[in-house]
Structure 1
């Protein structure tokens, strides 16, 4: 059972999301909140597998909450929901290492997205994915040639960018999961990035 905290400044939305998530039979909503400050408090108290948070809330933003949480727990899995596909929010979310960013109206995608980020993937809704290239072009780029990646490292990087987890990468490239983990650790060190999301960002900046 995936343990989730849901935060949205509209109580009706949090209750609706709780109903949708728990109807899947695979997710347990352990707490709900209505503000960015509550998002931080509830995350630290409950230590959920996934935090599902709105972006724009009365006292602050989900981005601010995510930043504070990730400063205290770098392994936190955060999935952001919004009605706004704002470029600045997307850039901030990516730079922080948030695992997913979805448009709130796409309710059918929320359960699969939670399961995906829980399993180590990064998720961006179709509305967001269509803007990634444009947004990433506005960020400082690191050149692959500078890091002299091997063909195998580039193959691993491609699979990470496709959102595959270690088991799926191992199957696709005929490697053991341990070998995949080792390659990903090497890539994180070599490229000086902190997580798989940042590896995916690097791939889209350099290879797309």
Structure 2
């Protein structure tokens, strides 16, 4: 299956560089470009890409507003935010809006390609260089585990699914979770899928945010 990608950045040289990297891959096709959020919304509706690489700071309509509009119109498209170190606050908002992760603009080409493939398959990628900073921002919990009503949907999870959710929130991959629980990868995938369905979440990133927002996991806890 060919992954259809839309590039959104107000700098033409950055778009050209992204296109050069992605078009070298046989399973990725760049179907369009946009120089600001307004163009991105129009292009997304017309081209129906699988994945959108979205810059944040752009004229007219920025990447956050564009992400909000695009995901409201099409919940199936995946948005990967392109960011720099000093834009954590924008990334936090983008993730809350439903973006499927973020990637540093200085990331190596192979990580860019990986991010596209991961997002296209319904998962999410958080750049490890800034994940801890961003996730920490979600740790100001709105619920305290004091015996009162649990977070929404949590009581629908089995004990094993809660365990898997904790492991997801700690940044563990499916393979690491499988090793820790002594089960197969397919079993882990099933658990993850059921967690997302029961909690009505889009992907692993949303599951991580859920766990931190409701205090199920604390920053630095392993």
Flag whether TM exceeds 0.5 (same fold).
yes
| Residue equivalent to 1:153 | 161
Q: Report how far residue 59 of structure 1 moved.
A: 1.5
1:81 aligned counterpart, secondary structure: strand
| Aligned CA-pair RMSD | 2.9
Which residue in 1 is equivalent to 2:65? 64
Q: Which position in structure 2 is the counterpart of 1:74? A: 75
Tell me by how many angstroms 1:10 deviates.
0.7
Gaps of 5+ in 1: none
Post-superposition shift, 1:201? 1.4
Distance 1:4 1:142 in 2: 41
Taking the aligned partners of 1:36 and 1:24, their CA distance within structure 2 comes to 26
Rounded to whole Å, the distance in 1 between the matches of 2:41 and 2:115 is: 21
Of 198-207 and 25-34, deviating more is 198-207
C-alpha distance after superposition, 1:148-186 (max 9, x if no partner): 443221233246544757x99789734856x955x5565
Report how many residues are paired.
204
Tell me the secondary structure at the aligned position of residue 58 of structure 2: coil
> Is the 8 Å Cα contact of residues 51 and 77 (structure 1) preserved in structure 2?
yes
Taking structure 2 as the reference length, the TM-score comes to: 0.78
TM-score between the two structures when normalised by the length of structure 1: 0.82
Please, which runs of 5 or more residues in structure 2 have no aligned partner? none
2:208 aligned to 196, 200, 205, which one? 200
1:79-131 Cα shifts (integer Å, max 9, x gaps): 01023442321221121111011111113321111111112221111232120
Match of 1:140 in 2: 142
- In the alignment, the residues of structure 1 paired with residue 35 and residue 132 of structure 2 have an alpha-carbon distance, to the nearest angstrom, of 29
Aligned position for 2:45: 44
Which residue is 2:130 aligned to? 128
Matches within 5 A, 1:181-196: 181=190, 184=192, 187-188=195-196, 190-191=198-199, 193-196=200-203
Which one is further off, 152-161 or 88-97?
152-161
Asked if the contact 1:6/1:33 (under 8 Å) is kept, the reply is yes
How far does residue 143 in structure 1 lie from its aligned partner after superposition?
4.9
Indicate conservation of the 8 Å contact 1:82/1:102, yes or no: yes
